Structures are given as structure tokens and as C-alpha cells.
Amino acid sequence: LSNCSVTEEGYKALASALRSNPSHLIELDLTGNDPGQSGVKELSDLLQDPNCQLKTLRFLSAAADEACQYVERVVGKNLLLQRELDLSEHELGDRRVNQIAALLQDKHCRLNTLM
């Protein structure tokens, strides 16, 4: 779903579909889409679902604040199976990178790859 103009509504629909019919989807590329705050929430709520099998999420070119919200909700709170997270092309800045670094120090963090 890279660069498909997926907005908050699309994120809601995607999360709803994946919750109602759990799949074996292990990789999701949402590069270049605009999740908005509710889209980030929908995505992180989905990753809390024990039936969610996602291991890789590509989240390039989303707004930096939304990306940081996602990292805080998913990585920092160890919400399920996340193994690889791609935040390439974000203008995170030192403050946000320091926040991410602190979250990665959490003993429950399961990330193997952060790009």
C-alpha cells in the first residue's frame, strides 16, 4: 500500500478488516501515506491484537510526530510482534531520536531492525 494516498479513513478500514479476518500478513508497507493521529491509533491498536501477525512495518514519509507517536505506542510498550520498523526519511530531530533511543532501552523491546 505504498504511496496509495491512504488517509485516516483508510487506516481505520484496514485495521478493521485485519481485526475481523485475522490473516497471516507479516509485512505491511504504508510508505508515503497520511495516517493522521487516528490512523496511528488504529494501527497501534491493531498491533495489540493477539491475532495480529505483523512483524515488519514500513512507515516512511509519514509526519514525524505521528511516527514518534507510533514508536511510543508500539515499541515502547512492547505491543506484540514488531521486529522491523522503517522510519526512513523522517525529520525526527535530536529530541525525537532521544525519545526513541530511550524506548529502545526498554527490556521488553523486540525490535531487531530500526531504519
Helices (H) and strands (E) in the chain, counts: 4, 4
**What does CATH list as the number for 8-114?**
3.80.10.10
Q: Is the pLDDT of residue 78 over 50?
A: no
Residue pair 86/115 in contact (Cβ under 8 Å)? The answer is: yes
Which pLDDT belongs to residue 39?
83
* Residue 25 or residue 74, greater confidence: 25
pTM: 0.66
Q: Which residues pair with 11 in a beta bridge?
A: none
- DSSP one-letter string for 70-115: HHHHHTTTT-TT--EEE-TT---HHHHHHHHHHHHTSTT---SEE-
What's the pLDDT tens digit per position in 15-53?
888 888 777 788 888 888 888 778 878 887 887 777 777
Q: Is the pLDDT of residue 61 over 70?
A: no
